[in-house]
Structure formats: C-alpha cells, structure tokens
Amino acid sequence: MTGTAIRIAVIGSAGRMGRMLVDVIHRDGGAVLSAVVDRPGSDVVGMDAGELAGIGAVGLPVTDDPATAVAEADVVIDFTLPEATPAVAAACRAAGCALVLGTTGLGPREQRAVENLSEALPVVQAPNYSTGVTLLTALVEQAAAVLGHSVDVEIIEAHHRHKVDAPSGTALHLGEAVAGATGRDLSACAVYGREGHTGPRARQTIGFETIRAGDIVGEHTVLFAGEGERLELTHRASSRATFAAGAVRAAHWVVGRAPGLYNMRDVLGIGGHASGER
C-alpha cells in the first residue's frame, strides 16, 4: 500500500469518536474516507458525513449498509457497541478487510468473533488508541514488576457522564498489566469499589475506582502505595482527537499485515505482541 491512499470505513458516525474520526481521516493525506455507517433507523442516515462531523460537506452520505461499506474499504475502524462487533467482524471477513477495533466492554461471544476474524485477517484491538496511554501501560508493567507485592495498587479512572461501561476498558487493561507483571489473576483479585465496613485492605487485591461526570474526556491513574512513599502514574486526555489520530495511525499500520490480533504496542513498536486486549 506504499504511496497509495488507504480506504477507511468508519462504523458509528453519530458517536463522538465517529465524528472525530471523519474529521481526522478527511485531513489525512494518505487516507480516503470510503464509507461512514450508522445503525438502521438512525436519524443521521442519509446525511453528509462531513456535515455531521462539523467540517462541511464531503459528498459522502451516511449509510446503514455495513456489508456494502466494508466491501469498498481496505480497513474498518469501529468504535461502537459490543453487540455490533460480531456483525462487523463477519462483514470484514466476507470482504477480506482489516479491522481496527476500539469498542470496549466485549463479552466472551464478541471476543471470540474478533479472535476468529484475526485468524484470517489482521485486526488491531485496543481499549485505548492514545500513544500516551500505550506508554503508560508499559510503564505500569515495569513499575509493577519492580514493586511486586510490596505495595497496594489502586486504579482510578474518570470519564464523561455518557460513558456506558465501567470500569473503562483502559482501566481494566491497566489492571491486567499489573496482574500480569506480578503473577496475579485479575478476575480473582479485582475489587470494584468499596462500601460499608470492609475491614483491612488485602495486599494482593487490585482496586478500581470509577468516576463519571460532566465532559471528562478520559483520565487514568495507577497508584502504587507502599510504606512511606507512593508512586502515581497518570494520563489525562484533553481531546478525543488523540484517540482518533491513534486509530487512524493503526489503520495505516495494519493494512497489508499478516493475519493476527495486534495491539497499539505493535503499532508503535514499543513492546512484545500481546493479543486479546479487551
């Protein structure tokens, strides 16, 4: 694909990320917005994708036909809902199209659909496409490996009031990073909020605190608290543009790759391959 503009289809045009992706792709000299898709019955179907994104008409109407849209693309970017993931994966498989997936909160059925697709086509799956968050995850792994079980670990995350899943996919991924570096099973040691008389904190647990308020784009802090000192690693996003830019960077990277399940570390080249991010 060197020297050729890649064709990108965006699934979920009415969402905040969908509109931002349309803007970023439209300004990317190496990419072409080939299709923009929203759910059947949506009020935005038929609207110009550029006008919906607030950048002016681009001559591309929003469609509700994902199969046709995917067939005309080199890669699909999907930031929608978990229940839509199997259908998006099926459309990509039928069209032989790569996928960049940013949807979080996937259950076992949805994750299986992604993994099955990755056996035939390249897929980038990440809970967060920010370069800063990807670096944060690597730093968290390093800190957890050094500090081990000598500290208490708490993960605090904040997002806007409209976010529907909690904790965020990024927070869970950071928890997995800590668990993996310290030999723990997150499903067995995670604590999601506390209330009442809880007793002393168990050192092996990994705590999660969730904030939903206003228009917070996204904040994540991993707190390592020991005796006499604490280490806090924090990332704060002030604009969704950073996530959209990262997803488009992943789209450029994944086109033409071998089948497999990749993540943003693969895209950035800063770590080993870790498939199955959720």
User: Taking residues 235-261, what's their average pLDDT?
Assistant: 95
The pLDDT value recorded for residue 277 is 38
Of 140, 146, 225, 143, the residue nearest 177 (C-alpha): 140
Asked whether residue 166 is domain-assigned, the answer is: yes
The per-residue pLDDT of the chain, averaged, comes to: 93
How far is Cα of residue 3 from the mean position of the Cα atoms in its chain? 27
What's the half-sphere exposure (Cβ side, CA atoms, 13 Å) at 38? Answer: 21
Give yes or no: residues 39 and 90 share one domain: yes
Active-site pick, 159, 173, 220, 235: 159
Band of pLDDT at residue 13, cut at 50, 70 and 90: confident
Q: Are residues 27 and 117 in the same domain?
A: yes
Ramachandran class of 193: left when φ > 0, alpha when ψ lies in -120 to 50, beta otherwise = left
Give me the pLDDT at residue 103, please: 92
DSSP readout, 73-103? -SEEEE-S-GGGHHHHHHHHHHHT-EEEE--
- Asked if residues 35 and 9 have their Cβ atoms less than 8 Å apart, the reply is yes
pLDDT band at 128 (very low <50, low <70, confident <90, very high): confident
Domain housing 144:
131-237
Q: What's the number of CA atoms in the CB half-sphere (13 Å) around residue 211?
A: 14
Please count the structural domains in the chain. Answer: 2
Q: Domain check: are 31 and 74 in the same one?
A: yes
Q: Would you give the distance in Å from CA 218 to the centre of its chain?
A: 12
Establish whether 162 is a catalytic residue: no
Q: Tell me, yes or no, whether 137 and 11 share the same domain.
A: no
Tell me, yes or no, whether 276 lies in a domain.
Answer: no
Q: What is the pLDDT of residues 158-188, one digit of tens each?
A: 999 999 889 998 999 999 999 999 999 999 9
Per-residue exposure over 194-230, b if at least 16 CB sit within 10 Å of its own CB, e if not: eeeeeeeeeeeebbbbbeeeeebbbbbbbbbeeeeee
**Cα separations in angstroms, 266 against 76, 168, 217, 240:** 18, 21, 25, 21
| Active-site annotation holder among 149, 160, 163, 197 | 163
Residue 63 predicted with pLDDT over 80: yes
Task: Judge if 76 and 181 occupy the same domain.
Answer: no
Question: Are residues 60 and 14 part of one domain?
Answer: yes
The predicted structure's pLDDT at residue 276: 38
C-alpha closest to that of 115 among 105, 107, 127, 123? 123
Output 250 or 278, whichever has higher pLDDT: 250
90 shares its domain with 107: yes
Active-site annotation holds for 163: yes
Any domain includes 217: yes
Q: What is the CA radius of gyration of the chain?
A: 19
Q: Are residues 25 and 72 in the same domain?
A: yes
Q: What CATH number corresponds to the domain at position 17?
A: 3.40.50.720
135: CATH: 3.30.360.10
For residue 268, what are the β-bridge partners?
Answer: none
